[in-house]
Amino acid sequence: MKSAWNDADAKEAIARYGKAGIGADLALRVYTTRLLGRDPQLVLHGGGNTSVKTRVTDLNGEETDVLCVKGSGWDMATIDPPGMPAVRLDALKRLRARKAMSDDEMVRVQRANLIDPASPNPSVETLLHAFVPHKFVDHTHSAAVLGLIDQPDGPARAREVYGDRMGLVPYILPGFGLAKKSAEAFDADPSVEGLILEKHGIFTFGADAREAYERMIAMVTRAEEYLARGRKAVFVSAQLPQQVATQTDIAPILRGACALPDAKTEGAWKRFVLDFRSGAAVLNFVNGADVSRYSQAGVITPDHTIRTKNWPLIAPAPRAGREADFRAQVRDAVATFVKHYEDYFARNNARVGGDRIMLDPAPRVILVPGLGLFGLGTSKKDARVAADLAEAAVDAITAAEATGRFESISEADMFDCEYWPLEQAKLGSAKPLPLAGQVAVITGAGGAIGAATAKAFAQAGAEVALLDRDLTAAQAKAKAIGGAALAVPCDVTDAASVAKAFEAVAAHFGGVDILVSNAGAAWQGKIGEVDESVLRQSFELNFFAHQKMAQGAVKIMRAQGTGGCLLFNVSKQAVNPGPNFGPYGLPKAATLFLVRQYALDYGADGIRANAVNADRIRSGLLTDDFIKARSQARGLTEKDYMSGNLLGREVTAEDVAQAFLHQALELKTTADITTVDGGNIAAALR
């Protein structure tokens, strides 16, 4: 591992933050924190922390000594000065004289001594940073250091690698107790350059930001070099099928097997989004004949438990062409996993007094021999976090097994950390959005109605895939939505393009829960005079494309086994045909009945089918030129033409999007056609 320190960049950070009134100490603290945070071999997703002891002016205008420490949950890779709350240092140092302190009291004392009351909570390891006298203190969860110390003889190995340069601290849950133990280890030899915390990570110290940072790099490098010397072959491979099923074939099966039925609402599920990882290191790990031992031994550092749980689910190796067998085997494996988790919770909850409330028992990491691993989360972001941490575990456990034998903390310690309120607080307590964990596919998403629908579904918590023949338009709309919104090229009239699009969605998110089949175009002409090719062209887009999309979605939904929702954009032409619109209205009428047929044929699978019947929406169908021509032909202003309905209100793409969203949320509604036109009795269904 090499130092990324750059004098020019350090000076630039001082100058840039200085313009905002930030001193050089904090500017360099932020600079080196980012250097550490951007290296996934050191920290991941809110892990690790850093601090600097400096002086600031408080709200009374008085200069005071403070500890600026990383705020709880902030990401070191992107941190800025607001993520380093300043706490009065003398107040923190006096706490060392205490014999004991509860977590709640520790948090209250730290918050009571914030310079800015609006600052985020300081790190749970704030007191450790305060009790060590060095100006700059860095802490990471280096994969190499964890590979070195996560072994039965980890302390001896650490002593062999570092000699007297690093102090050793036995495992203890973070907080006041760990801070005291670490301070005692430092006092035993104040010459140490840092501390190795058993089963937890590494701290380094320095008089300036560069010294603390480069000591971290140096100490991690020593661990890497030790692990590389005399490294034996790792993980004899198990016997695997000659042909393994593909990621896109099994992802929906895994996703459905891990979904949890909602005990309060019939037909509702807690679903998970997936994130897939593979590669030589991952395959070496998941293919190991002894994977049921080393993968189930526990977490590499307690900080991971709230994101990955304490062990992954091991799936059977999926044979190509035997997906039905795989589905049954996976469901058995998940049931076993859930029972194991429930028993683990019951044992340990009784041990601590029985006052904990069990988290959901679903796995957050799945190992699939022959294929790779999946991270699971209620959003794509959370799934990526789980997958990133799982890959870090692969690296650390592989390193430990290559030089000895991996050993985690005890089950009791894992439980105490998983159900530790200060760790749970990192996840937040906000009520989940109604479509959290669900994946919605929207066609024609580069247009007005499709884009508005994708935005509405994303705001409701869904992960959205925006399909459009015009990929550039879909990408622009996806970028505007942000998050994990995915743009996928798709010609909905082409079966191969549709199949490829669904494969892309399944590969990215793991499956599909909602289809909004929206793409369409309006062909005109008197029905008795229109060329047959025009009629066939309209049927391809306005009927058969809906059928292709619905078939692809249903295939995935049935593999998942958690129901789903098919939503179609039909038109008022389907029930109230207008003159010269037969080429458009006829396939739309067929699509209206297609909706009801899907509702009839797949209701037993929990798959709902509904449609929105909209009229006069500014979109690719109803262009500005078309609106102008129609208005002039009727002797109306454009405003009067667009609001020519019973309510006298123009209907927008956003109104249609809200109708689709309503149908997606109504778990006991199917075969419904919702009219969104401001009121047109002639188009009302009866």
User: What is the rounded CA–CA span in Å between residue 145 and residue 338?
Assistant: 32
Examine residue 236 and state whether it is found in any structural domain, yes or no.
no
H helices of 172-208, where?
176-188
Q: Tell me the CATH number at 116.
A: 3.40.225.10
**Are 155 and 264 members of one domain?**
no
Same domain, 408 and 353: yes
Same domain, 11 and 106: yes
Contact 237/291 with Cβ under 8 angstroms? Answer: no
640: its two tokens? 């009067």
Closest CA to 3 of 35, 44, 45, 50: 35
Q: Which two tokens stand for residue 675?
A: 């009219």
Tell me the pLDDT tens digit for each residue of 199-248. Answer: 999 999 999 999 999 999 999 999 999 999 867 778 888 889 889 999 99
Residues 349 and 374 in one domain: yes
Same domain, 520 and 608: yes
Domain of 545: which CATH number? Answer: 3.40.50.720
Domain span holding position 193: 7-228
252 and 315 assigned to the same domain: yes
Is 366 contained in some domain? yes
Task: Name the residue with tokens 């905002």.
Answer: 20
Spatial distance between the Cα atoms of 389 and 371, rounded to a whole number of angstroms: 18
Q: Which helix H or strand E contains 12, and what residues bound it? A: helix 7-18
Domain containing residue 285: CATH number: 3.40.225
Residue 609: strand pairing partners: 566
| Last residue in a domain, options 401, 427, 453 | 427
Flag whether 433 is in a domain. Answer: no
Does residue 240 lie in a domain region?
Answer: no
| Chain segment 376-389, per-residue pLDDT in tens | 999 999 999 999 99
Q: Is residue 459 located within the same domain as residue 602?
A: yes
Domain membership flag for residue 557? yes
Q: Are residues 385 and 315 in the same domain?
A: yes
C-alpha distances in Å from residue 266, one per residue of 246, 484, 562, 654: 32, 29, 12, 29
150-194: pLDDT as tens digits:
999 999 999 999 999 999 999 998 899 999 999 999 999 999 999
Residue 73 lies in a domain: yes
Answer whether residue 155 is part of any domain.
Answer: yes
Instruction: List, edge to edge, every strand of the sheet that includes 486-489.
Output: 486-489, 463-468, 439-443, 514-517, 564-571, 607-614, 673-676
For 526-569, what is each residue's pLDDT tens digit?
Answer: 999 999 999 999 999 999 999 999 999 999 999 999 999 999 99
Q: How many domains does the chain contain in total?
A: 4
Q: Are residues 254 and 354 in the same domain?
A: yes
554 Cβ contact list (under 8 Å, min separation 6): 564, 566, 598, 602, 605, 607
Mean pLDDT by 10 residues, the chain (686 residues): 96 96 96 96 88 95 96 91 97 96 93 94 95 97 95 96 97 93 97 96 97 98 91 84 93 98 92 97 96 96 91 96 94 97 97 94 97 97 96 95 94 93 68 95 96 98 98 98 97 98 98 97 90 95 98 98 97 85 92 97 98 88 82 88 91 96 97 92 78
**pTM surpassing 0.95?**
no
Domain end residue (candidates: 378, 397, 427)? 427
In this structure, are 210 and 350 located in the same domain?
A: no
Q: Is 238 within the bounds of a domain? A: no
User: HSE of 470 in the Cβ direction (CA atoms, 13 Å)?
Assistant: 13
Among the three residues 169, 197, 228, which one is the final residue of a domain in this structure?
A: 228
Q: Does 99 lie in the same domain as 33?
A: yes
Residues 84 and 177 in one domain: yes
Q: What is the pLDDT of residue 149?
A: 96
Residues identified as active-site: 584
